[in-house]
């Protein structure tokens, strides 16, 4: 059987992203490269042994992805009732690295090219993933009412996002100057091609260096983490932040409560009530 094609068809039927499809194909390919059995002859023990060997070389997160991919192939593509319910390798919960408001200002202010500055400003100001930013089209924007739509974001979901008031005129000016039409991407290269993720990553890294910030810790996604944290700091509820980020579960959003600055925690230590 054509394993890659089987995975592709099932992922397409479920409207998984291209990236998820390719990841699943790669994981399953590596499994069979190691297992050397026909799919119908693979046992639960084979899968468990493969994952145990993998865990000695890879992180828990990687093993978790492999488990999901292999489970998807056997249970959803082959319809084998293998009951692969191995409790395996929960990812350690780490707080994301975030910038303070002052650091975000320094980073954006260090960008002198106006178009580059607009891209990075909108990525932070709307809490967009870098892939969501470069895929924005003119038809997705309503600058008059200060909002836009992310189309087919992570998990193939649509969601609304806010357009910062301070960027409204700059976006409208860009659209007019470049004569952009409804089906055009908002951000284009000089050759009028869609901007690349890599180019934006380079811009953010360079800006962080010019601003004197820790470049090793700062990526495009750092701006999204900072956006969420700053919303919590200014009093937005978890459910409001969850909706703007497009998180499926509120538990994913709760992590930003822990990255908010200490003055956001309105709890006094019991020690402060003691007369020592």
| Domains annotated on the chain, with CATH | 3-77 (1.10.150.130), 101-264 (1.10.443.10)
- Active-site residue (options: 8, 119, 224, 225): 224
Q: Integer distance in angstroms from the first to the last C-alpha of the chain?
A: 76
Bridge partners, 137 (sequence order): 185
The pLDDT of residue 60 is 76
- Active-site residue (options: 154, 159, 206, 219): 154
- Active-site residue (options: 117, 129, 225, 230): 129
Q: Which positions of the chain have pLDDT values less than 70?
A: 86-93, 153, 155-156, 261-272, 275-276
Q: Is 256 a catalytic residue?
A: yes
Map tokens 């990553």 to a residue: 201
CB pairs under 8 A, 24+ apart, for 112-118?
Answer: 114/170, 115/174, 115/187, 116/203, 118/167, 118/170, 118/171, 118/174
Find how far residue 4's CA is from the centre of its chain.
Answer: 25
Q: Is 247 a catalytic residue?
A: yes
Based on C-alpha coordinates, what's the Rg of the chain? 23
Q: Is 48 a catalytic residue?
A: no
Q: Is 221 a catalytic residue?
A: yes
Map tokens 């397409």 to a residue: 12
Q: Is 258 a catalytic residue?
A: no
Q: Is 129 a catalytic residue?
A: yes
φ/ψ of 147, rounded to 5, equals: -150, 165
The pLDDT of residue 209 is 94
């Amino acid at each position: 059987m054509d394993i890659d094609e089987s995975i592709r068809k099932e992922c397409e039927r479920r409207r998984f992203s291209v990236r998820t499809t390719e990841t699943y194909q790669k994981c399953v390919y590596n499994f069979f490269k190691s297992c050397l059995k026909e799919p119908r002859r693979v046992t639960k023990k084979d899968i468990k042994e493969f994952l145990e060997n993998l865990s000695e070389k890879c992180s828990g997160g990687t093993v978790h992805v492999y488990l999901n991919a292999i489970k998807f192939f056997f249970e959803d593509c082959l319809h084998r009732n293998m009951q692969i319910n191995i409790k395996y390798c929960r990812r350690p919960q780490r707080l994301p690295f975030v910038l303070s408001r002052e650091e975000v200002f320094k980073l954006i202010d260090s960008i002198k090219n106006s178009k580059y500055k607009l891209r990075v400003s909108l990525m932070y100001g709307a809490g967009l993933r870098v892939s969501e930013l470069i895929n924005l089209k003119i038809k997705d924007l309503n600058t008059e009412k200060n909002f836009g739509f992310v189309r087919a974001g992570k998990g193939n979901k649509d969601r609304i996002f806010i357009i910062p008031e301070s960027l409204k005129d700059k976006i409208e000016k860009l659209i007019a100057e470049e004569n952009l039409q409804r089906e055009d991407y908002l951000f284009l290269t000089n050759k009028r091609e869609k901007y690349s993720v890599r180019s934006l990553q380079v811009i953010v890294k360079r800006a962080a260096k010019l601003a004197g910030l820790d470049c090793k810790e700062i990526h495009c996604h750092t701006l999204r983490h900072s956006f969420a944290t700053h919303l919590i700091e200014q009093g937005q509820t978890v459910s409001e932040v969850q909706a703007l980020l497009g998180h499926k579960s509120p538990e994913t959003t709760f992590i930003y409560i822990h990255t908010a600055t200490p003055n956001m925690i309105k709890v006094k230590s019991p020690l402060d009530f003691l007369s020592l």
